Amino acid sequence: MAKTLAKQMVESGLAACVQISAPGTAIYRWQGEVQESTEYFLSIKTNPARLHEIKHWLQRYHPYDTPEIIMLEGQAAAAYAAWVNESTACISNPKNEANHV
């Protein structure tokens, strides 16, 4: 699922790059019970202007009812920032909307 989400964000232009971490074990309380599951951490590189689009997209397509979404803004080297901006410049794929998870 992590790879599918990552590919779709990059293909749609929401993200320039998505790094997927090695699987980790998450232990958490959900609906009054302690749960354990394997999770992946996705580091999503995007234009700051697209942060809210990604948040809404993840809320729609992520398999969890309440996915963990932490948005951090930072500064990147000029060349990297230019590449991110170019890679996320409003690539719109309305035809592919049905292909999302």
Its pTM stands at: 0.78
Least confident of 4-13, 74-83, 88-97: 88-97
pLDDT at position 91 is 58
Per-domain residue ranges for the chain? 2-94
Distance, in Å, from the CA atom of 53 to the CA atom of 95, rounded to the nearest integer, reads: 17
Which class would CATH give 2-94?
Answer: alpha beta
pLDDT at position 89 is 85
Task: Identify the residue with better confidence: 72 or 26.
Answer: 26
Q: What is the mean pLDDT of the chain?
A: 87
Task: Identify the residue with better confidence: 7 or 98.
Answer: 7
Distance, in Å, from the CA atom of 1 to the CA atom of 100, rounded to the nearest integer, reads: 11
What are the E-state strand segments in 14-71?
Answer: 17-20, 24-30, 33-39, 42-45
pLDDT for 45 beyond 80: yes
Which of 37, 11, 13, 40 is closest to 26 using CA atoms?
A: 37
